[in-house]
Structure formats: structure tokens, C-alpha cells
């Protein structure tokens, strides 16, 4: 036995043990306690699947707070045009390590990293080294299918030549991810080219029309919404409800780090509020947890790998403090969706490895990393 988590309360309200063997969930239920190499007593804690961030520019953690009023053109010019190309491989590693550490600290065990700092094989290796050091699971998106290792799955990040890049991804059996606006014929064009489908992952799509929602949902094309950044930078209103009305289920992401928080609790609550206002209904809060767990995992091609607490799936788990007072018949999932924050993230496990324990990361000295990063990247804030 590798690791046994005892007495925790799952989000369905039941108290169950979880047995982890070789990085996977081996059993959920009442498990004999003898023989486990390690035991975590989760009494009083809520145990939920690790959160999955469907769209993040991980390295931009180093630029936190740089652009509170940045518009998209200014961001493209300054962050992607001027800053990103100036990072050497060591800096790409440092910035990505900081971003991966902040994600894990917030209970995000998997990130889809639309990495804008990789401009050489050395940069690519540096980014992979950062993921491995922090201990995060990642899908790495790059212009072509990138080399990967460890807990990293490759993907194609589309920007230069969409039709060619989406075909490349489909032919190679990986996800193609693309920033998309929606509403301007782009989705219809992709449909006409035969390129919609589960291999294509669209991000934002704020202008999504009901017709586009039908096309996307009907073809199994996946969508990730990043509502905080989309509202902050003026991309538009969240299309989550439009997609849902067509039977689609968008996952959530954080996106740029220059003007958005590093956690998924804020996009999650933003989505709940917007959806309730858009539909005029009291859509159950707990139902939305799937948008940052199994739903996000499926959107980025990791359905059946992570995002749920089931035997056979990766042991990617988050233990939350702060809910011990809830009654036995309480709606635990709804309580988490409406009130949880980074401060509640007590323990984080990725692929069976404990990366945060009792509120502190075990793999990275986060305060120290912040100091090193602040010195190294001071030039961007002058």
C-alpha cells in the first residue's frame, strides 16, 4: 500500500477512506488500515478531486499585478510581444515554477499551460523541469506537438495557421487549443472545413451565438471559459449559459496572470452568479463543481485520467479545511462551490504525491520563490 486517506468527507457528503497505489486511486470505501506505507487522517476535512485549470499562461505568475487596466491589444503588445521573448530558459523555468506552485497551492492539480515562453528546445526542457519540480500535472500547448515527460501531455496551441495546426493535432491524436471570439463565422468556417470535434478545444468564445453553441455541442467540440479575465479585459460576457442551453458543458480556466487571481474558486463563483442571473433560476451551486474537475478534465483531453474520485483514475486530490461544522445532511458540494477559498486548501496530492501538506507546499518554498522571482523580474515593473 502506498497511501491511505482515512475518515475524510467526500463532496457527496459520505465519509470514505481512499486507498492510493502507484499514483492511482485503488479503492474508495472502507479500507483495512493495516499495511499502508503512509496514512493521512482526513477527519474533519472535505476530500474532493483536484481542480483542473483548462486555460492558463502559467509563466505569467511572475507578472502578477502588472496590468490591472490592460486591454487585449496592450497585453499582446507588451506581455507577448515584448516581455515573453526576453526570458531566457532559466527565467522561463523560474516563472513557470512560480506559476505551477501557485496553482498547486490553490488546489489546482492539473493545468492546461498555453505556454508563451518556449522559443527553443532549452526553454521547453526548462518548462518541463519546472512542472516536475513543483509536481503538477500539465497539458503543454505549443505551436507544434511538443516533447513531454512525466505527468505532461502534449497539445497544439493554435495561433499562426489554425487549419493546418488543428489537422496536425487531430492526426497526432492530441488536443488542439485555440483562443476564439465566436460570433464572426469562425465556428461555421471550422465546421465547413470538417475540423470541429472532441480534438478541438476552444477558449473564451464570448460572442458565441445559439447556433454556434449547437454546432460545438453537437460535434463534441470542447470549450473553456475564463470569465474573470474575459470580464476584466473586456472580451465579453461569459458564454457558459449559452453553451449550456445547447447541451454543452464548458470547463473553466484562469488565463492570463497579469490581472487575474491564481485560483479557480473565483471563476467558479463568477460562473454560478452569471448563470443564475442569465437563466433567472437557482441552478444548484454544487452542480458547478464538475466544471472545474471532471468537466475541465474532459475539455482538455484528460477525461478518464483525472477529475474524479474513482478507482483507476489518477490520485489527484484536494483536502479542504473549514467545513467540519457542516451537518451530516448538508450540501457539501454546494458549500464548497459558494464559499471555499485558497485558505481552505489544506492538503494537495498529485498522482499520489503529497505536494501540499497542512497548508504548506512540500515541493517548493513558495515565499522564497516569490522573493527570487521579484528580484529576477524587477525589470518588467520599472
Q: How far apart are CA 234 and CA 210, in angstroms?
A: 21
Min dist. Cβ of residue 204 to Zn ion (A) = 8
User: Residue 29 Cβ, how far from Zn ion at the closest point, in Å?
Assistant: 40
Nearer to Zn ion, 17 or 113 (CB): 113
> To the nearest whole angstrom, how small is the minimum distance from the Cβ of residue 57 to Zn ion?
6
Q: How many residues belong to the site for Zn ion (CB under 5 A)?
A: 1
Task: Give the x-and-dash track for 243-282 against Zn ion (CB under 5 A).
Answer: ------------x---------------------------
Strand partners, 4: 19, 39
Give the C-alpha separation, 335 to 132, whole Å. Answer: 33
C-alpha cell at 345: 486548501
Phi-psi region of 280 (alpha: psi -120 to 50; beta: other; left: phi over 0): left
Strands 51-56, 317-320: parallel, antiparallel or unpaired by DSSP?
unpaired
Complex with Zn ion: residue 226 or 294, whichever CB lies closer: 226
What is the C-alpha separation between 126 and 98, in angstroms, rounded?
Answer: 13
Phi/psi of residue 82, nearest 5 degrees: -105, -45
Give me the residue whose beta carbon is nearest to Zn ion: 255
Task: Concatenate the DSSP letters of all residues of 188-235 into one string.
Answer: HHHHHTT--STTEEEEE-TT--HHHHHHHHHHT-EEEE-HHHHHHTT-
Query: Nearer to Zn ion by C-beta: 102 or 255?
Result: 255
Q: Which is nearer to Zn ion, 51 or 318 (CB)?
A: 51
- Length of the chain in terms of residues written: 382
Q: Please report how close the Cβ of residue 231 comes to Zn ion at its closest, in angstroms.
A: 14
Smallest distance from the beta carbon of 180 to Zn ion, in angstroms? Answer: 11
Q: Closer CB to Zn ion, residue 240 or residue 323? A: 240
Cell numbers at 290, concatenated: 464538475
Three cell numbers written together for 13 = 457528503
Strand-pairing partners, residue 48, are 318
- Residue (255 or 263) nearer to Zn ion, CB: 255
Residue 324 CA to residue 306 CA, distance in Å, equals 26
CB of 118 to Zn ion, least distance (A): 15
Our CB check for Zn ion shows the closer of 53 and 255 to be: 255
Q: Work out how close the CB of 347 gets to Zn ion at its nearest, in angstroms, rounded to a whole number.
A: 30
Number of helical (H) and strand (E) elements in the chain, helices listed first:
12, 17
108 or 366: CB nearest Zn ion? 108
With beta carbons less than 8 A apart as the criterion, state whether 310 and 25 touch.
Answer: yes
Count of beta carbons in the 10 Å neighbourhood of residue 179: 17
* Distance, CA of 350 to CA of 23 (rounded, Å): 8
Task: In angstroms, give the least distance from the CB of 232 to Zn ion.
Answer: 13
The residue (of 105 and 113) whose beta carbon lies closer to Zn ion is 113
Q: Which positions lie near Zn ion, rule CB under 5 A? A: 255
Amino acid at each position: 500500500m502506498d497511501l491511505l486517506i482515512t475518515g475524510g468527507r467526500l463532496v457527496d457528503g459520505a465519509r470514505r477512506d481512499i486507498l492510493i497505489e502507484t499514483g492511482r486511486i485503488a479503492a474508495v470505501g472502507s479500507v483495512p488500515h493495516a499495511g499502508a506505507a503512509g496514512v493521512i487522517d482526513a477527519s474533519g476535512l472535505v476530500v474532493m478531486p483536484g481542480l483542473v485549470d483548462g486555460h492558463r499562461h502559467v509563466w505569467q505568475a511572475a507578472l502578477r499585478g502588472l496590468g490591472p487596466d490592460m486591454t487585449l491589444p496592450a497585453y499582446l503588445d507588451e506581455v507577448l510581444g515584448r516581455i515573453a521573448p526576453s526570458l531566457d530558459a532559466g527565467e522561463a523555468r523560474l516563472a513557470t515554477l512560480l506559476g505551477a506552485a501557485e496553482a498547486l497551492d490553490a488546489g489546482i492539480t492539473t493545468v492546461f499551460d498555453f505556454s508563451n515562453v518556449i522559443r527553443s528546445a532549452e526553454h521547453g526542457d526548462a518548462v518541463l523541469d519546472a512542472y516536475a519540480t513543483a509536481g503538477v500535472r500539465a497539458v503543454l500547448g505549443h505551436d507544434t506537438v511538443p516533447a513531454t515527460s512525466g505527468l505532461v501531455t502534449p497539445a497544439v496551441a493554435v495561433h499562426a495557421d489554425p487549419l493546418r495546426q488543428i489537422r496536425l493535432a487531430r492526426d497526432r491524436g492530441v488536443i488542439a487549443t485555440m483562443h476564439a471570439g465566436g460570433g464572426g463565422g469562425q465556428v461555421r468556417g471550422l465546421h465547413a472545413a470538417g475540423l470541429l470535434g472532441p480534438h478541438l478545444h476552444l477558449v473564451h468564445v464570448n460572442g458565441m451565438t445559439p447556433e454556434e453553441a449547437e454546432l460545438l455541442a453537437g460535434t463534441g467540440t470542447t470549450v473553456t471559459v475564463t470569465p474573470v479575465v474575459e470580464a476584466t479585459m473586456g472580451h465579453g460576457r461569459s458564454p457558459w449559459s449559452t453553451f449550456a442551453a445547447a447541451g454543452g458543458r464548458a470547463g473553466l480556466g484562469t488565463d492570463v496572470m497579469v490581472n487575474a487571481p491564481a485560483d479557480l474558486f473565483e471563476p467558479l463563483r463568477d460562473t454560478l452568479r452569471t448563470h443564475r442571473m442569465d437563466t433567472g433560476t437557482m441552478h444548484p451551486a454544487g452542480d458547478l463543481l464538475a466544471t472545474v474537475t471532471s468537466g475541465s478534465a474532459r475539455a482538455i483531453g484528460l477525461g478518464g485520467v483525472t477529475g474524479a474520485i474513482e478507482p483507476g483514475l489518477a490520485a489527484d486530490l484536494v483536502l479542504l479545511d473549514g467545513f467540519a461544522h457542516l451537518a451530516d445532511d448538508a450540501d457539501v458540494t454546494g458549500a464548497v462551490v459558494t464559499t471555499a477559498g485558497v485558505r481552505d486548501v489544506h492538503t494537495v496530492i498529485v498522482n499520489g504525491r503529497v505536494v501540499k501538506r497542512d497548508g504548506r507546499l512540500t515541493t517548493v518554498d513558495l515565499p522564497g520563490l516569490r522573493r527570487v522571482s521579484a528580484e529576477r523580474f524587477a525589470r518588467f515593473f520599472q
